[in-house]
Amino acid sequence: MKTCKYYFEKISEYLDGELDGQACHEIEAHLKECPECGRCADSLKKTIQLCRETAKEKVPSEMRVRLKLALQECLQKQLG
Amino acid sequence: MYEDTETNATIAEDEIMNTLATDETDHLLITRFKAGSMDAMEKIVERYEDQIFTFGLKMCGHLQDAEDIVQETFLNAFKYLNDFREETKLRNWLFKIAARVCFRKRRKKKFEPERELSLESFVLKDGLSSSYDIPDLSNNPSEQLERNELKQIINKSILSLPPKYRFVFNLRDIEGFSTKEASEILGITAQTVKTRLHRARLFLREKISEQFNEGEAVR
């Protein structure tokens, strides 16, 4: 009999689609039966989505200009 | 005759593309760079600078450090791009360089020693209270202020991850690399990537939930 802890360790692999068919079927059945593990999987999924949606950054425009100049200068030196 | 030559050239080009890991756009830019095109260099920077900047900022938390990481990454990349044989995607190669720059920066600054995140601590906490209050952006996308506050909470939480977990989380969940790609970029096994990613996510769930609730209590 596999315990909640066993499935708890596999939740990320399940969410990433990295479990094989049998293991995936088993964990899905467990998440349906066990409300606590089901909530755990849901909150982990929401955490990943939230981080993905808010984490992207853009290079500030002044930095973009500085970077371009530094790279051009360096490359011109390399090319001699 | 002309048509045959053109067809043969297309087939030859297709065969070359099939043996390369880089996509068509990158292949073209790399070829032009090797022929001395400054414009190709700028296009490569334009394509990847935001991604490397995001990675640098999420790894170190300071604008100046992130700028240094972007600059050093591209300087190194262009120094060695003539020898790049396109056996890996250009994006993966750039992130491998960026990860090395971050490692070096950490060593120079004598950051805090690596901390382990034990799975046991999350299991116990999870057993006691399985309810985590994770905000849902889709409920209220128009509230820019709240979105900015949330972004700060998330950035702070990611920065509080011990570095070796932060590297894996940023590559896998923010940049979207596969387990295999992240393992190649960091030079660790796929199993280590999986283990660290799971613990990083559990840690972040707890941190974000705590900070979100603190913020709600203050309002």
Residue A4 has pLDDT above 70, yes or no: yes
Domain boundaries defined on chain B? 2-109, 119-218
pLDDT at B44: 97
Please state which CATH number belongs to domain B119-218: 1.10.10.10
Range of the domain at A18: 4-79
SS3 content of chain A, % helix, strand, coil (to 5): 80, 0, 20
pLDDT at B110: 64
Which CATH number, 3.40.50.720, 3.40.640.10, 1.10.510.10, 1.10.1740.10, labels domain B2-109? 1.10.1740.10
Amino acid at A74: C
Chain B (69-88) residues lying within 8 Å, Cβ to Cβ, of chain A:
70-71, 74-75, 78-79
Q: Do domains B2-109 and B119-218 have the same CATH topology?
A: no
Q: Taken in order A64, A65, A67, A71, is the CA torsion positive or negative?
A: positive
- Give percent of chain B above pLDDT 90: 63
Rounded to whole angstroms, the Cα distance separating B50 from B36 reads 24
Number of domains in chain A: 1
Chain A residues touching B71 at Cβ < 8 A:
67, 70-71
B177 vs A72, higher pLDDT = B177
**Residue B159 contacts A, CB cutoff 8 Å:** no
- Give percent of chain A above pLDDT 70: 98
Rounded to whole angstroms, the Cα distance separating A37 from A30 reads 8
ipTM over 0.90: yes
pLDDT tens, position by position, A47-73: 999 999 888 899 999 999 999 999 888
CA-based Rg of chain A, rounded to a whole angstrom? Answer: 23
Residue B1 has pLDDT above 50, yes or no: no
> Residue A32's domain is classified under what CATH number?
1.10.10
Q: Give the global pTM.
A: 0.88
**Residue B141 contacts A, CB cutoff 8 Å:** no
